[in-house]
Structure 1
Amino acid sequence: MTPYNQTAERLVVLACSATKLAHAAPAIELYRGVMYSTYRANVRAETAPAVMILSARHGFIRPDTVIEPYEQRMTDARAEALLEEIASAMPAAWPAGARTILLAGGKNYRRVMRAALECQAERGIGPAGASVAETSGSLGYQRQQLSAFLRGA
């Protein structure tokens, strides 16, 4: 089982991936893209961050949410639809104690992730002044950024 800790002071918000298992599984296990491979290769149980996943189909989900494989991309239109329902789409179990946050995904994903953090701040959820970073650049560079975050660098 891939480790995560929903009460950790660090939070990584991961975009879903096109590559998935062929059967239903917890989201953290279902997604098999390179960012998830990077997560699995670098996360340590004793320092695991909280994790939320932004699914193009399901919106924000916890890593233990069991879902079926699907095919849906995060298009501009889908990002807009998620933004319109952001307040109602936020799971009640969003990790509220995170002080250091990494948003990991493409531009449409990160746009929705930023809006989610703003929504949580408006609700008074999460500590004021949390440090928020975003992955950027090539996929290889984004993998390096995720690895560094997981190592606490």
Structure 2
Amino acid sequence: MSKKIVLISCVSQKLSHRAKAKDLYVSTLFKLNLKYGNSLKPDAIYILSAEHGLLSLDQMIDPYERTLNNMRAPDIKEWANKVLSQLKEVTSLKGDAFTFLAGEKYRRYLLPHLSNTEIPLKGLPIGKQLKHLKELTA
């Protein structure tokens, strides 16, 4: 039976100390994505971390500065390959349904390897994403 998986991208705003991944990221966008992700009643939610690849919500991590936004395409591809191998350990790339709450840079090299994907906020600038997420989670 196929599982529902939500993938949320990391954000630059973080606590200044070690914490569970779900608590480390403190931006409004991340918190609303997590709230919306939970409302979808998924089997699992993972964070797409520029530093660590795939993170479970309860994984303890230290703050970091790495972002995909200033990485070159070959480095992002390498990151995506790492994430895909991590995903293979916990999901079925072809059988499960993936909902991306993540920007284009985080999705680009993952999407071709996943059969069943949804991108509810695709194409929306951050301000519109925030507005839409607030409505969806109200």
Cα gap change, 1:65 to 1:102, in 2 (>3 Å): same
**What aligned pairs does 1:1-150 form with structure 2 within 5 A after superposition?**
9-39=3-33, 42=36, 48-49=41-42, 50-74=44-68, 75-77=71-73, 78-90=75-87, 92-94=89-91, 98-99=96-97, 101-115=98-112, 118=113, 130-136=116-122, 137-146=124-133
User: Partners in 1 of 2:23 and 2:137 — Cα distance?
Assistant: 17
User: Partners in 2 of 1:138 and 1:92 — Cα distance?
Assistant: 32
Structure 2 length-normalised TM: 0.71
Cα gap change, 1:89 to 1:42, in 2 (>3 Å): closer
User: Partners in 1 of 2:120 and 2:37 — Cα distance?
Assistant: 18
Unaligned runs of 5+ in 2: none
User: Partners in 2 of 1:43 and 1:103 — Cα distance?
Assistant: 9
User: Partners in 2 of 1:95 and 1:35 — Cα distance?
Assistant: 28
Q: What's the CA shift string for 1:57-89, capped at 9, x where partnerless?
A: 111111111110000010234312213445434
Q: AA paired with 2:128?
A: Y
Is the Cα contact below 8 Å between 1:27 and 1:66 reproduced in 2?
A: yes
Cα gap change, 1:57 to 1:40, in 2 (>3 Å): closer
Q: AA paired with 1:76?
A: R
Please give the secondary structure, in 1, of the residue aligned with 2:6: strand
User: Partners in 2 of 1:11 and 1:147 — Cα distance?
Assistant: 21
Is the Cα contact below 8 Å between 1:82 and 1:112 reproduced in 2?
A: no
**What is the RMSD of the two structures over their aligned residues, measured on CA atoms?**
3.3
Please give the secondary structure, in 1, of the residue aligned with 2:90: coil
Please give the secondary structure, in 2, of the residue aligned with 1:23: coil
The number of residue pairs the alignment matches comes to 131
Cα gap change, 1:108 to 1:58, in 2 (>3 Å): same
Unaligned runs of 5+ in 1: 1-7, 122-129
Structure 1 length-normalised TM: 0.65
Cα gap change, 1:145 to 1:27, in 2 (>3 Å): same
Is the Cα contact below 8 Å between 1:13 and 1:102 reproduced in 2?
A: yes
